[in-house]
Structure 1
Amino acid sequence: SFQGRSRCNDYAIGIELEGTDTLPYTDAQYQALGELTDFITRYYPRITLGRIVGHNDIAPGRKTDPGAAFDWARYRMRVAGFK
């Protein structure tokens, strides 16, 4: 569940990144993810930073991605406009 709603896959937009829980993601991945996020949030303005989470947040204990190697601060700074 997410923010009090169950069946997340019925209304979520899922973005898959190639990677592991332990290896750093690449600059190209952060760039592409940031551009895709910009596009999606332009057309779906109710998708805010507070509504962008990882599988590990939705299904803790069952899902681990994007994992500890994903730099959420870097991604959020990029999405917030600090490119």
Structure 2
Amino acid sequence: MACGVSCYQGRERCNDFSIGIELEGTDTLAYTDAQYRQLAAVTDLLIALYPAIAENIAGHSDIAPVRKTDPGPAFDWIKYRALLSAPSEKETS
């Protein structure tokens, strides 16, 4: 079953080379502190195993903007990045 069109930094078929993490929520309701803490903990573990991903963290809306809106405007990228053990220099909106 095809998951639809996706593209990130010129590469298509993102499900073939990416790791997806789902959060329970909506585009408009704030995520909880517990969600941010757990997301950062999982991300730190993944970065320890795959260091290159530290500079390639993106939202679903970044790879399939026509079809996906998550994590949405309620997701606080600055707060999330501040919780990472080794925040990247890359800004994410």
The TM-score, its normalising length taken from structure 1, stands at 0.91
- Among 60, 65, 83, the residue aligned to 1:60: 65
- Among 48, 51, 58, the residue aligned to 1:45: 51
- In the alignment, does 2:22 pair up with 1:9? no
Which structure would you say has the larger RCO, counting Cα contacts within 8 Å and 6 or more residues apart? 1
Runs of 4+ with deviation above 2 angstroms: none
- Tell me the matched-pair count: 80
Q: Distance in 1 between matches of 2:83 and 2:17?
A: 25
Give the gaps of 5 or more residues in structure 2: 1-6, 89-93
Percent identical: 61
Q: Which structure has greater strand proportion?
A: 2
Q: Distance in 1 between matches of 2:73 and 2:50?
A: 28
The two structures, once aligned, show a CA RMSD in angstroms of 1.2
Give the gaps of 5 or more residues in structure 1: none
State the Cα deviation string for residues 17-44 of structure 1 (Å, max 9, x = none).
0000000000000000000000000000
Q: Distance in 2 between matches of 1:66 and 1:43?
A: 24
The TM-score, its normalising length taken from structure 2, stands at 0.82
